[in-house]
Amino acid sequence: MHWFILKRLLIVPLLLVIFSIISFVLIQAPPGDFLTSYIAELAQGGTTIDQAQIEALRREYGLDRPVYVQYLLWVGNLLKGDLGVSLEWRRANVELIGERLVLTLALTTASLLFTWAVAIPVGIISATRQYSLVDYVFTVLNYIGLATPNFLLALVLMWIAFDRFGLTVTGLFSPEYVQAPWSWGRFLDLLRHLWLPMIVLGVAGTAQIARVVRANLLDELSKPYSEMARAKGLPEWKLVLKYPTRVAIAPVISTLGWYVPQLLSGGLVVSVVMSLPTIGPLLLRALIGQDMYLAGTIILIFCVLTIIGTLISDILLAVLDPRIRMEGS
Amino acid sequence: MAVVTTAKGDAGSAVYVAPAWKMTWWRFRRHKLAVICLWVLGLVSLIALMPEFFATQDPFATSARRAYIPPQTLRVIHDGRPHWPFVYGVEGQRDPRTLRMEWIANHDARHSLRFFVRGFEYRLFGLIATDRHLFGFADTALGVTPNVLGTDRLGRDQWSRLMYGTRISLSIGLVAVAISTVLGILLGGVSGFYGGWVDNLIQRLIELLQALPPIPIWLALSAALPRTWPVTWVYFAITVILALLGWTRLAREVRGRFLSLREEDFVVAARLVGASRGRVIFSHMVPSFTSHIIAAVTLAIPLMILNETFLSFLGLGLRPPAISWGVLLQEAQNLQSVVNAPWLLIPGLFVIVTVLALNILGDGLRDAADPYSA
């Protein structure tokens, strides 16, 4: 067991190195650098900048050095806990990312909990009443949930809320709390705004996971141990909840590995549409403006969060399923 | 094996001589919903093949004075009496207080529905020059063609744009899946057939790619495309980007099939009688999992379509003047434009229907391809 977890942990630094290289290559890939797009932007606004100033800026940001030196400097600073400076905002990346990261995590966690809270009961009900009206309704809803891009769902819900109830449901805070420091009131305000993005983000995953639970439970329900319990006179609901459900929801844990990246990715688009102050819109802006260190750092953060998600799912699975942890030793 | 009844009724004898694909087809046909989806997708593909024929107007033609016209509904009752399908013409009036353009139906101008009308010229399949369109409207008074699904910010006809967008969105999905299928089958096949360190290497690569958060990576890759590239280059670049991260799932599927088949009696037998490696793979192993691959591929297309929509919606995928469903939805990017012109969300309906149909079809195929299911 410990050996299994240790093995997983040992891969993490290797993954981090590879991912940091991928992130760096990605942000280096666009032709030109931050300064070219900065100059273009200035030119569009009608101002120009003289050559000496450009050279000074280029030296200051280290853009004149070879690429591998830039990479090593970046990674070296990251290791020291210095996330670098945003070229566009001229502020430390930590400041820009800090609260947005917290809100991103809050949204992701809320959606995850929402998914489980809905998908597991729906899966159980569908499986125990296979081919009933309820099952068909859920199946149809599942297919629609899978087929609807979440930004579209966000737009439609926002429109309905505005058109029918006169509510503007964008952002995560009421105007008076946007700039305010954290307080109890601000937290409650966050909860009041979080529910809609949470549902929007969770719908597709809920549909997928409910299907997995349904299929697994159907397999389990016809197994001899279920028949046995039934023959001994255990009430059906007690039987279902006590034995097969425990087996059927194990894959829910194992899907965590791909579901967390999916939530993080989806959250990015939803945030742009609903103007949520999460990391997504910041990344989009940084990518378009070639603010390379900010973009690279955010991509790397996404990678790290994904690694953590996978790690947690691996460990939980090993705890739940003895077959997996035996394989390691 | 379950007995499959054929339409002809001579179930008994037909089953025993039917090749595998025929049995799959019989099983598939019993899944009514999937068959309906097949028809829906046939229609969508037809639109993708010849959008010009379905369009009523030139999708690129702008008209500043005809911006934001709401959909003009097809009516069958005029003055309380039944009437051949028609739409009312519209007239713009500026609201004196808000200065917004209001479009009011003009009951005197009726445009009757006509089929196979003459319209703008185009080349069918890029070859045959013609100006026939599936439907259009008789111009009774004003000399302007009605907009069935309304117009956008620049007064372009949404219905016609939607038809053109279908071609790009669907083909991007298909091409991206085709590329990832080739990659998936090749790498998955090599991985599953040879095993050993090759297998190990490819599996680690797949794990690595699957651990990457897809949308940020896609965004970064598409942001790297030079802004100066022509539309067709961007189109191919986006397809390659989508395929690059999309092949892993297919590769896993193929590898799994190879691994389970490698030890099957008929494969071992073929090897023992001295069949070459290529023969063992292509004439013995591949046919027995083709149907699974087709099902997996069908399920991969909707994902690609959704991803293209995401990217274009965020402004990092296809860019105007290219028309795709995502580009169309970009017009409805914020609450304000949706409140102003809710009909701009209609392309989303097309996305949902197509993706839904592909998912149901894929599930139907997968069930049909499984010889052990009832």
Q: What sign does the CA torsion over A191, A197, A200, A202 have?
A: negative
Per-residue model confidence (pLDDT) at position B2: 46
Residues whose CB is less than 8 angstroms from the CB of residue A207 and which lie 6 or more positions away in sequence, other chains included: A119, A141, A142, A143, A144, A145, A146
Question: Which of B221, B314, B342 has its CB closest to that of A269?
Answer: B314
The ipTM estimated for the assembled molecules is 0.79
Which residue is it, tokens 């399923």? A321
* Mean pLDDT rounded to a whole number for chain B: 80
- Contact list in B for residue A307 (CB cut-off 8 A) is 211
Chain B residue with Cα closest to A32? B226
A329 has pLDDT over 50: no
How high is the pLDDT of residue A326? Answer: 62
Contact A146 B355 (CB under 8 A): yes
Percent of all residues in chain B with a pLDDT value above 90, rounded to a whole number: 3
Query: What is the mean predicted confidence (pLDDT) over A76-92?
Result: 75
For the cut 60, the answer to whether the pLDDT of residue B34 exceeds it is yes
Instruction: Using pLDDT thresholds of 50, 70 and 90, give the confidence band for residue A111.
Output: very high
**Interface contacts (A, B; CB < 8 Å):** 122
**Residues of chain A found within 8 Å of residue B313, distances taken between Cβ atoms:** 149, 151, 269
Q: Kindly tell me if the per-residue pLDDT of A177 is higher than 80.
A: no
pLDDT of residue B373: 52
Whether pLDDT at A97 is above 80:
yes
Lowest model confidence (mean pLDDT) among A3-17, A279-293, A314-328, B191-205: A314-328
CB B346 within 8 A of CB B158: yes
- In this predicted structure, the answer to whether residue A328 has a pLDDT above a threshold of 50 is no
For the record, the structure tokens of B190 come out as 């090599």
Using the beta-carbon criterion (under 8 Å), do B211 and A148 form an inter-chain contact?
no
Going through A179-253 in order, the beta strands assigned E by DSSP cover: none
- Give the pLDDT mean for B103-128: 78
Closest in A15, A146, A170 to B359, CB measured: A146
Say what the pLDDT of residue B24 is: 77
pLDDT band at B1 (very low <50, low <70, confident <90, very high): very low
Among the listed ranges A35-39, A111-115, A243-247, B368-372, which one has the minimum average pLDDT value? Answer: B368-372
Identify the band that residue B360 occupies on the pLDDT scale cut at 50, 70 and 90: confident
Is the pLDDT at B7 greater than 60, yes or no? no
CA–CA gap between residue B22 and residue B10 (Å, rounded)? 15
Residue of A nearest to B359 (CA): A143
In chain B, which residues touch A (CB < 8 A)? Answer: 208, 210-217, 219-221, 223-224, 226, 302, 306, 309-310, 313-316, 329, 332-335, 338-339, 342, 345, 348, 351-353, 355-356, 359-360
Q: Give me the mean pLDDT over the B241-258 stretch.
A: 82
Does residue A114 have a pLDDT over 90?
yes
The per-residue DSSP string of B323-358 comes to: --HHHHHHTT-SHHHHHH-GGGGHHHHHHHHHHHHH
Residues of A with Cβ-Cβ distance to B351 under 8 angstroms:
147, 149, 152
Express as a percent the part of chain B with pLDDT over 70: 93
Cβ distance of A272 and B332 shorter than 8 Å: no
- pLDDT tens-place string over residues B46-72: 998 888 888 888 888 777 777 788 887
Contact residues on chain B for A264, CB-CB shorter than 8 A: 213, 216
Of the partner residues B214, B310, B339, the one whose CB lies closest to the CB of residue A162: B339
- Is the pLDDT higher at A232 or at B72? A232
- Determine which of A7, A12, A140, A152 to mutate to test the interface with B (most B C-beta atoms within 10 Å): A152
Tell me which of A46-55, A97-106, A280-289 is least confident.
Answer: A46-55
Contact between A155 and B355 using a beta-carbon 8 Å cutoff:
no
pLDDT tens profile A245-254: 887 877 777 7
Mean pLDDT over A178-193 rounds to 79
Q: What confidence score (pLDDT) does residue B6 get?
A: 46
Cβ-defined contact of A162 to B214 (cutoff 8 Å) = no
